[in-house]
Chain A
Amino acid sequence: MTAPLPAAPLVNATRFRAAHQATWERLEAIVGRIEKRSVRVLGEDDLLALPVLYRTTLSSLSVVRETSLDRALQTYLEQLCTRAYFQIYGAPGTAWRQLAHFFADGWPRAVASLWRETVAAAALGILGAVLGYFLVKHDPSWFYSIIPAELAEGRDPSASAQALKEVLYGSKDSDPLTAFAAYLFTHNAQVALFAFALGFAFAVPTALLLVYNGLTLGALVEIYVAKGLGPMLGGWLIIHGSTELFAITLAGAAGFRIGLAVGFPGRASRLESAVTAGRTGGTAMAGVVLMLVVAGLLEGIGRQTIQLDWERYALGGSVFVGWLVYYYLPRKRHALA
């Protein structure tokens, strides 16, 4: 049994394909080029056509889903629309624009919005420092349990004032110290990332890390103060410490934000609140890593070349004021970021 040759296509899908296939194929070609290279390779015509083609194809998908039973066609359109969607909506802007936005707005705004957590983190750090100071003052043997020997480098309660002083004013041409600064930067950055990531566990490990950080600082300060070298240590510390300790405090604050968001989500769902906190924290963390780079430079270069106490205080203090101004000075709100 056979039918006479049909005059019209059997199904609508065939007619639909004939009418729109050229559109889909043009979109596919454009999206393929963006995926291979970047959006910059497109000419003006293609660039203007892209959103129109995308919406036409999207509506083709809707029509096909409702009216056609050709699964291959539906799958193809789904895949094509998904690829086009990611190129149109999903891709972040150009690297330069992102970077500019990050410095001008994203970074300081994220840090400023963490101010409550920052105060709490700073308080914990100071608490640790005071505790460390008095523990070591009370019983110098505490020092050895607080600071690991490889970080102390001979700076311990038994060291002479002369030896301690030499560390503070290291010679200018000591090359290994610059490498040591790079090591310190990577070490600190990794610790900061940990402090942030650990905030996830309801902020408890982050708090411990901040207190411990304060303890080591307090213990170190005590052995210098006991030898009457307090102000000199201050200069040695503040030149990079004002940036570095601030950065670690901010990392802790970002961790707190996440821990609190998970623990006390408020009206939002736990997951939603964690996501919002996570994104703010992530932006702040990118800034923290940059701060640690600055701290590493100040430590590696600035501290070696600047030997006068008052200059060290002035530089460290003005850098700190610079950070405060950058983060917390009220800025114009952008209408829609």
Chain B
Amino acid sequence: MPWLRRRRPSGERSLRRQFVTPEGVDLNLELAGAGERATAFLIDALIMLVILIAVTIAVVYLDAGAGKAADSILSITWLLGFFVLRNGWFILFELSGRGATPGKRLLGLRVVARDGARLTGGAVVVRNAMRELELFLPLSFLAVDASESRLDALIYILAFSWVALFLFFPLFNRDRLRIGDLLAGTWVVHTVRGKLADDLVGATRQRRVFSEAALDLYGVYELQTLEDVLRRGSDEAIVTVAASIRHKASLPDDGDDWGFLSDYYAALCARLERSTMLGYRRENKHAASR
């Protein structure tokens, strides 16, 4: 069936993207998923709503005791404040050095220009002006409908398909772009602050020695999976993996699974690294060993 064969391999669907710096190094960025984007937006919306309600209560409270002149100043402040909150929240936060609203920061996300250049004011304005169209326009449609219920079914359906089209737009493209991102030339990426993990091979101590045949079993992919297992340190996984390697290499069980695995990792790593330096990188266990 040709349409089955045309499907992309799963690797291409991941959210890792090539991103080459001016120095010519690929930073291999990870894009934010649709769920995280939505969560970040909901957090922002929630904060904005809380601020709005707090300010409104404060204005109403002050209003009760104020004269006519103060009354109009308060209502002007409220109107302008609402405008700044609605339009300025996203724009000002994303223009700051962090490139992220509080919601995005909380989730470790950041807005970045797709071409790797500086994030310009124009781009930030565009990506947030488009939000008017993606979100607030249909919302106001629905609000009108709820308050007056005089829209006929056709307009109702149109408004809903409008919302659906824009809301789910990020799910229909590979880079999870909103319409705003699309036009502004931006995307939203993860910024992770990781610590450097310890060197698994660094400790100088007596190590087990393995035969060529035992080390020939695996390639780089398996080595790095083993690295994950060791770093995660789950006992169950270590016992299982150690048993399976011993079985394949027909080695006796010496009772020290952790020691066995870390020695095997060190030996395999040294061997694969040596062959990599000599020009042959054995990607996985299916590739021929040399």
Interface residues of A (CB under 8 A from B): 1-6, 9-14, 17, 21, 24-25, 32, 34-35, 38-39, 55, 58-59, 61-62, 67-73, 75-76, 78-83, 85-87, 89-93, 95, 98, 102, 106, 110, 175-176, 178-179, 182-183, 185-186, 189-190, 193-194, 196-198, 200, 258, 271, 274-275, 277-283, 285-286, 289
Contacts and interface: CB of A to CB of B under 8 A. Distances in A.
A274 B133 contact: no
Give the contact-size bracket for chain B.
35 or more
B74 to A, nearest CB: 9
A2 B276 contact: no
Contact of B208 (A2, A39, A274, A282): A2
A175 B71 CA distance: 9
B43 to A, nearest CB: 19
A89 B199 contact: no
A156 B95 CA distance: 46
A286 B196 CA distance: 43
Contact of A10 (B96, B132, B201): B201
Contacts of A200: 130, 133, 179, 183
Given A9-B202, A175-B72, A196 B129 contact: yes
Interface string B233-267: 00000000000000000000000000000000011
A180 B196 CA distance: 59
Interface in B217-237: 220, 223-224, 227-228, 231
A193 B87 contact: yes
Nearest to B140: A190
B40 interface: no
Contacts of B39: none
A3 B209 contact: yes
Contacts of A24: 196
Given A91-B99, A92-B120, A175-B72, A278 B184 contact: yes
B97 A38 contact: yes
B204 A13 contact: no
B267 to A, nearest CB: 8
A175 to B, nearest CB: 4
Contact of B122 (A4, A86, A106): A106
B185 A92 contact: no
A86 B68 CA distance: 51
Name which of A14, A32, A183 has the most chain B CB atoms within 10 A of its CB.
A14
B157 interface: no
Contacts of B56: none
B28 A17 contact: no
A273 to B, nearest CB: 11
A171 B193 CA distance: 61
A276 to B, nearest CB: 8
Nearest to A183: B79
A336 B265 CA distance: 53
A5 B205 contact: yes
B273 interface: yes
Given A71-B224, A90-B113, 12 more contacts: A4-B206, A70-B199, A75-B194, A93-B118, A98-B121, A179-B75, A179-B76, A186-B80, A258-B183, A282-B122, A282-B124, A283-B125
Contacts of B208: 1-3
B133 A72 contact: no
Contacts of B83: 185-186, 189-190
Given A14-B202, A282-B184, A89 B116 contact: yes
A95 B246 CA distance: 62
Name which of B125, B179, B227 has the most chain A CB atoms within 10 A of its CB.
B125
A91 B123 CA distance: 13
A198 B82 CA distance: 22
Contacts of B121: 92, 98, 102, 106, 282-283, 286
A279 B227 CA distance: 45
B68 to A, nearest CB: 6
A86 B126 contact: no
Given A179-B75, A282-B121, A283-B121, A2 B209 contact: yes
A193 B116 CA distance: 27
Given A21-B196, A282-B184, A10 B269 contact: yes
Interface of B: 21-23, 25, 27-29, 68-69, 71-72, 75-76, 79-80, 82-83, 87, 95-99, 110, 112-114, 116-126, 129-130, 132-133, 137, 179, 182-185, 191-197, 199-202, 204-209, 220, 223-224, 227-228, 231, 266-267, 269-270, 272-273, 276-277
Given A197-B132, A280-B122, A178 B72 contact: yes
Contact of B191 (A68, A83, A274): A83
A182 B75 contact: yes
B276 A69 contact: yes
A3 B208 CA distance: 6
B95 A14 contact: no
A72 B118 contact: no
Contacts of A3: 206-209
A69 B272 contact: yes
B277 to A, nearest CB: 6
A280 B122 CA distance: 7
A90 B196 CA distance: 24
A280 B83 CA distance: 23
Contact of A11 (B96, B123, B273): B273
B255 to A, nearest CB: 15
Contacts of A72: 196-197, 200, 227, 231
B223 A279 contact: no
A24 B197 CA distance: 13
Nearest to B114: A275
